[in-house]
């Protein structure tokens, strides 16, 4: 095997692909048009354990390694970026909770997340702060007496929020950053769907609004001051790995669909694949798939090994595959011409979704800044 | 003035921009979602003379020069690629007819095209032939006696066909290529809308089907054998110029919206425009707008002057602006982040439409092939 | 004419091209290898008036417009970037002096610059300051009594400094920036050639060292405090225009040589120009030449008209053509294969020189920053 | 370890790097300027076994695996592409001979190649045929009686030919392709050095000329008809792997030198590494190094395992790293500005050499064509 996948990893990959071919691929276009994924498929994913794939067995999870989690995300990304986002956010919240939650929080929520009984959302972005994580306007205040927190603020572009039952909300309290669990049904908390996106339309994005929402202090994850520095990075790491692999799925989809199309489509006597300008597109896609595949595998492996390079490898994987998926989708559309722009072709879906990959979990520009900084940190040990 | 526009050209440009700001920009997003432009706006365009802008006055047209036609298309392209396609196809048919039509054809159709009373479509593409213009399966046969033509075949991806009343159909007859006018209401001719495209959704694309359609031989434009060699190039030239300018409109829209957004959007204390990585995107967009602007102007001017370089300048303009509009739309979305992916932002519309610009009226790959060949033809007079 | 060149401009362009074909092209490769241009060709350029092309006639210059200056630089850039640098630096110093020099300075230096009797250099860059123009370590001090300035410091990467007789040196005095003329023969001033560059090898670059150099205060150009804010921008504007047009010359050379080569070179039965992957390279080069041509013309025209956009158009032209020349040189080498890497092919020279164009007179990154800022300044009048 | 290198592979990599740091890096710039590598370093490489690294021990080689060979080439490529070319061509000839040579040929030549006692060259390219391998004009004829071959023809751009003692020459005989060993001292065979290349200047390229060169038929490798189909692919496979890894060495050099420079170089108070536009360059370089590293490792591994994908993985590795090395060298020069263009900086050397990587052992365009074809061959098993 090329990436030294174990037999078990290979077997699971085969299972994931089969699931996707049967349950996702045939309906992905409908979901995008309808702007919602089917409840049934999410339930089925829960039954298969996909929504708790890397939670430990003691919480009802599968205890799979991160490489397997990557294979899962890639397989789903091949067919539906929107549905893959369920894997993304579920793991972001679950893994942050596993690492920093109290015993009570974990036993209350992890088993339900593991089975997909409920979906969770991870809510950082605000209307005015963009990626400046220290500028939250969302605020928690302790009520006099200290037995209750009062939450006010707004979040935007929160993936899966249309269907989530539990939200990990980041904000500040007394100038410290805080992460706190907020159940959907809490009074004063409203969720407003965001529709009509150019891709990722079935990912259930929404705006959140909190008006004097009352919460018990025991809902804080980690402790005050840990929100941005400790809780968030755990979630973001899974968010980046999931997104990187999801984008790899798009790349593989573009490549495979392009090869198949170029083989069967004739222009006069020649197939598209016999034309140099088309072969060029295919050569580039195929090479990028290989390169992206490794970068994703490497990021997953590093996380599995808790290796020191795990942060930078996840950044590199997401940085590369998100951009390469945009290139691949553009070329795949181009290769098909007008037919590639219609929803009956997966390339149209890829084209809209791939661009989103360059934005979620940190834009390409944020990655350039962060990754450049990471690499600069190696200056002491490199070169002259 | 930068491009030596005459005062009249400048005045018309101002008028176009005002029309677009009032009547197009505010509704363009709705049209894309609804997959149809408003009848009213098309009627208004007709009243202003925009749909017959470069037809001579004797046929009820405005007799405007091609530079003015370019400014018109750019102004509309800034707001709605779909609506601009009405300008594209109307001019393709009208100009082909003006050049190669009989006196009767011209007096029958041009006045109605000039006022926008009816819309016309230009139909080359077939399901299986792609851009191979000599491989038409659409076939005209003369019925014994010769007083009637029988048309059978299929066309696909025909812009504005959902609303057009007259179609210029390309096919073959006795191994010669033929261009022929086919009115919508002719028995045996059906139009099936194509919906759910990833952009250009309100451009009214459709499939055409002809089953034993009977037509008078007087509907042939030019004469048998002239279809691909004489009639088509006239239409294609206007199609390329219109599309090049429409893509330039996208570029200008991306640039202006990005500058405005970068100025007002704050990340902490800084505006986006103070960040080097964002300035880079803006610098590139702005430079591309300048370059594209000239290439479009030059193509229009060459056509006005019937200069020998008019074919190659139209190719170069369309080749450059269609690609640069994809770049600009990608960067404009990136600069806005998630907000740029929502239909409430023009960037989402630009992102879907720009890619279409790389496909219609000859894909980028077709342009590379043709333009490379054109330039090669200069080998005798260049270099050593 | 495409760019509305006057008949006189066209005639001069023809003359420039002829001069270059006779006197520059045949020897450019030798100069690069020998790391020096021939004295004779510089003398001849002086005799033709090329070294004082845009100085007024009263100072012995030609009084040509900037468009003509651009055509001159493009023609020379087509054959030798190194020799073109003589045009660059001569104009930078001469025009700064024309604008800000005293009557005595102008009558002392301009006539000798106009005829090419002497060559001038424009010295900003220092070993440690890079492009931070306010961080000069080069320092002028007034000697007690005030009748003499003492100059100490170092400059680096100063074009033509190996042969220049007069230097316009930028430094600071009492925390104000100062521009000052320093003749080569002044005691304490030494010039150390920089050799073994990867391109631009005959441009005569050198390091300058000043150790207690004594100068009369009358050598200051403008007045103290004007160095960076007033004197420098005049020179830089001509530097950018010259470099933009020089890079355009490279692009045109790459294009013309590639077309000629692709026409004559056979692979089996086919010429290179019949291969799609090669045509693509040619199509891109040709389109870039057209676009770059306009941007350069526009920058020259704006300068001729003292138009408000003159600064930004020069930045855009230099930004575009320097990058496009790197692309063109890379593709031109690629098209020739190994033969394109040998000094007997102009493409090898283009490859080394083009990259220098992205660095001199402000790197591409500096341009992205500056040009982005310029465009941001338009935010008030653009978009919504 | 990231790529599951064995301890032995890691130890050897450390040894290679140490050798390069001591014996190659300090002198590489001199070699490029002098257009020849030092005899001593080649001799030392021979002593260490580097010139016979993957020949079996029975022939005096090291019997190292291909992954180790890749590490060797990368380490050398980091410092001198020219010197690395000795590893390239030596392995191309040796491995072709090992696979297809007779017992006599192998025992005569392999031990001397293994120790570096002699250097070998692999000669395909001809002045007029480019990469069309079936169009050889070099011709072998059997003299009446059949005991002697007569060779006539010309080869060009033959790496290391200035110093090689034995040449594997490809030509045709009776319309069959033939590979044949030709010792340097054979009468009628002359070698003319090619100097003044823009990079790769010390790689000893030359033109070969054969005028009635007499050879024993026993010098044919494989048998008539096997030249292009059997012998050449073995050599080319090692040529591609060596070049891919050599280009990876350039990329790593660019990255490490850029990080080190950006850390120490200050612009005012800030280091270059604190500027977003510079970090972007570093982020891209670093990610490309990671991706290229894997592609190279994968190609070596596939060759070690004689895996069915070994041909395509070598193509992909060479295609990716050669282009990425050009990007990296361009960015590394850009980051240093003028200082990066001087031979005292390794970036200037990288800039010239990287482009050669895109040309030797099959240009990028040839790779696009071949690799696209390879991927098309998978159409049956991919997608829908």
Report the chain D residue with the minimal C-alpha distance to residue B280: D277
Residue D144 sits in a domain whose CATH number is: 2.40.110.10
The neighbour count for residue B212, using CB atoms within 10 Å, is 11
Residues D196 and D238 in one domain: no
Beta bridge pairs of residue D215: D149
Instruction: Give the global pTM.
Output: 0.96
Q: Sign of the C-alpha dihedral, residues A104, A105, A108, A114? A: negative
Q: In the listed set A177, A205, A223, which residue is the last one of a domain according to the structure? A: A223
Contact state of D351 with C355 under an 8 Å Cβ cutoff:
yes
Pairing of strands A120-123, A166-173: parallel
Any domain includes A216: yes
Measured at the alpha carbon of residue A132, what is the angle toward residues A127 and A134, in degrees to the nearest 5? 105
pLDDT tens-digit profile of A92-115? 999 999 999 999 999 999 999 999
* Nearest CB to B330 within list A268, A326, A337: A326
Question: Which residues in chain A have Cβ-Cβ distances shorter than 8 Å to C276?
Answer: 275-277
Closest-CA distance of chain B to residue C65, Å: 17
Asked whether the beta carbons of D176 and D191 are under 8 A apart, the reply is no
Any domain includes D383: no
For B:102-131, CB contacts with A below 8 A are 125, 128-131
Contact state of C279 with B367 under an 8 Å Cβ cutoff:
no
pLDDT at C127: 87
pLDDT tops 90 at residue A279: yes
Residues D188 and D292 in one domain: no
Mutation for testing the C interface, residue in A274, A276, A284 having most C CBs under 10 Å: A276
pLDDT tops 50 at residue A1: no
Residues B266 and B213 in one domain: no
Any domain includes C1: no
- Please give the span between the terminal C-alpha atoms of chain B, in angstroms, as a whole number: 37
The conformational region for residue C190 under phi > 0 = left, psi -120 to 50 = alpha, else beta, is beta
Contacts for D273 with CB less than 8 Å, ≥ 6 apart: A372, A373, A376, A379, D259, D262, D263, D279, D282
Q: Which chains touch D (3 or more CB pairs under 8 A)?
A: A, B, C
Section D134-154 average pLDDT:
91
Contact state of D275 with B275 under an 8 Å Cβ cutoff:
no
Task: Quote the ipTM score.
Answer: 0.95
Higher pLDDT, A383 or C147: C147
Q: What whole-number distance in Å separates Cα of residue C209 and Cα of residue C204? A: 16
Question: pLDDT-based confidence at A384, cuts 50/70/90?
Answer: very low
CB of B287 within 8 Å of a chain C CB? The answer is: yes
Q: What whole-number distance in Å separates Cα of residue B13 and Cα of residue C56? A: 39
Pairs across B and D, CB distance < 8 A: 9
Closest-CA distance of chain D to residue A307, Å: 10
Helix residue spans in D192-307 (DSSP H):
232-264, 276-304
CB of A222 within 8 Å of a chain B CB? The answer is: no
pLDDT at A383: 43
Q: What whole-number distance in Å separates Cα of residue D244 and Cα of residue D320? A: 8
Q: In the listed set C224, C251, C269, which residue is the last one of a domain according to the structure? A: C224
At B112, is the secondary structure helix, strand, or coil?
helix
Mutation for testing the B interface, residue in A199, A333, A337, A370 having most B CBs under 10 Å: A337
pLDDT tops 90 at residue D133: no
Residues B107 and B175 in one domain: no
The neighbour count for residue B26, using CB atoms within 10 Å, is 11
Q: Which domain holds residue D204?
A: 121-223
pLDDT tops 80 at residue D187: yes
Any domain includes C383: no
Please report, rounded to a whole number, the percentage of residues in chain D having pLDDT higher than 90.
92
Closest-CA distance of chain D to residue B202, Å: 30
Residue D44 sits in a domain whose CATH number is: 1.10.540.10
Beta-strand ranges (E) seen in chain A are 120-123, 139-142, 149-158, 166-173, 176-183, 189-193, 206-215, 220-221, 266-267, 270-271
Please report, rounded to a whole number, the percentage of residues in chain A having pLDDT higher than 70.
96
pLDDT tops 80 at residue A131: no
Question: Which residues in chain B have Cβ-Cβ distances shorter than 8 Å to D275?
Answer: 276
pLDDT at A269: 83
Q: What whole-number distance in Å separates Cα of residue A211 and Cα of residue D366? A: 63
Q: What whole-number distance in Å separates Cα of residue D364 and Cα of residue D344? A: 29
Average pLDDT, chain A: 95
Residues B99 and B16 in one domain: yes
pLDDT tens-digit profile of B313-324? 999 999 999 999
Give the C-alpha distances (Å, rounded to integers) separating B298 from B317, B318, C68, C253.
8, 12, 21, 22
For A:263-282, CB contacts with B below 8 A are 265-268, 275, 277-278
Question: Which residues in chain B have Cβ-Cβ distances shorter than 8 Å to C287?
Answer: 295, 316, 319-320, 371
Report the chain C residue with the minimal C-alpha distance to residue D134: C268
Q: Which helix (H) or strand (E) holds A113?
A: helix A103-114
pLDDT tops 50 at residue D59: yes
Residues D176 and D150 in one domain: yes
Residues B160 and B276 in one domain: no
Contact state of A290 with D279 under an 8 Å Cβ cutoff:
no
Residues D243 and D366 in one domain: yes
Residues A152 and A170 in one domain: yes
For the record, the structure tokens of B102 come out as 């009989």
Q: What whole-number distance in Å separates Cα of residue A217 and Cα of residue C263? A: 78
Residues A83 and A151 in one domain: no
| Structural domains of chain B, count | 3
Asked whether the beta carbons of A278 and D368 are under 8 A apart, the reply is no
Residues B22 and B113 in one domain: yes
pLDDT tops 50 at residue A357: yes
Give the C-alpha distances (Å, rounded to integers) separating A181 from A97, C114, D383.
10, 77, 42
Contact state of C280 with B373 under an 8 Å Cβ cutoff:
no
Residues of chain B with pLDDT under 50: 1, 383-384
Residues C257 and C368 in one domain: yes
Q: In the listed set A89, A118, A147, which residue is the last one of a domain according to the structure? A: A118
Any domain includes A381: no
Beta bridge pairs of residue B152: B139
pLDDT along chain C (384 residues), means of 10: 79 98 97 96 98 96 98 98 98 98 98 97 86 79 91 97 98 94 98 96 98 97 95 97 98 97 88 95 98 96 94 97 98 96 95 97 95 88 50
Any domain includes B383: no
For the record, the structure tokens of D217 come out as 């038929």
pLDDT tens-digit profile of A152-207? 999 999 999 999 999 999 999 999 999 999 999 999 999 999 999 999 999 999 99
* Nearest CB to B259 within list C4, C256, C382: C382
pLDDT tens-digit profile of B1-33? 356 799 999 999 999 999 999 999 999 999 999
Any domain includes D2: no
Report the chain A residue with the minimal C-alpha distance to residue D288: A320
Identify the CA nearest to B294 among candidates B64, B4, B87.
Answer: B4
Mutation for testing the C interface, residue in B6, B25, B247, B286 having most C CBs under 10 Å: B286
At D234, is the secondary structure helix, strand, or coil?
helix
Residue C367 sits in a domain whose CATH number is: 1.20.140.10
Any domain includes C318: yes
What is the residue whose two structure tokens read 């007079």? B381
Contact state of D280 with B277 under an 8 Å Cβ cutoff:
yes
């Amino acid at each position: 095997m090329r990436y030294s996948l174990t037999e078990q990893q290979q077997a699971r990959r085969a299972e994931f692909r089969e699931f996707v071919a049967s349950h996702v691929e045939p309906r992905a276009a409908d979901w995008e048009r309808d702007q919602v994924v089917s409840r049934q498929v999410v339930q089925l994913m829960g039954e298969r354990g996909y929504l708790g794939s890397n939670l430990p067995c003691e919480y009802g999870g599968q205890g799979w390694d991160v490489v397997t989690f990557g294979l899962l995300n890639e397989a789903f990304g091949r067919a539906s970026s929107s549905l893959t986002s369920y894997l993304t956010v579920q793991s972001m919240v679950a893994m942050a909770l596993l690492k920093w939650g109290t015993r009570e929080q974990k036993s209350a929520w992890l088993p339900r997340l593991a089975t997909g009984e409920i979906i969770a959302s991870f809510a950082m972005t605000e209307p005015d702060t963009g990626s400046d994580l220290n500028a939250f306007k969302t605020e928690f205040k302790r009520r006099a007496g200290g037995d209750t927190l009062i939450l006010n603020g707004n979040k935007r572009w929160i993936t899966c929020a249309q269907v989530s039952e539990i939200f990990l909300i980041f904000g500040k309290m007394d100038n410290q950053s805080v992460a706190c669990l907020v159940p959907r049904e809490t009074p004063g908390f409203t969720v407003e769907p965001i529709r009509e996106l150019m891709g990722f339309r079935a990912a259930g994005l929404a705006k959140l609004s909190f008006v004097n929402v009352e919460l018990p202090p025991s809902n804080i994850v980690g402790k005050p001051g840990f929100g941005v520095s400790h809780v968030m990075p755990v979630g973001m790491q899974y968010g980046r790995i999931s997104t990187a692999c999801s984008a790899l799925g798009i790349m593989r989809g573009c490549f495979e669909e392009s090869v198949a199309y170029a083989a069967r489509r004739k222009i006069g006597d020649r197939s598209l694949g016999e034309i140099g300008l088309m072969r060029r597109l295919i050569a580039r896609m195929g090479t990028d798939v290989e390169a992206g595949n490794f970068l994703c595998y490497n990021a997953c492996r590093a996380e599995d090994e808790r290796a020191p390079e795990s942060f930078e490898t996840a950044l590199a994987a997401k940085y590369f595959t998100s951009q390469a998926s945009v290139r691949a989708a553009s070329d795949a559309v181009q290769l098909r011409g007008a037919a590639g722009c219609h929803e009956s072709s997966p390339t149209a879906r890829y084209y809209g979704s791939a661009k989103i990959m360059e934005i979620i979990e940190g834009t390409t520009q944020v990655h350039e800044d962060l990754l450049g900084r990471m690499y600069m940190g190696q200056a002491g040990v490199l070169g002259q």
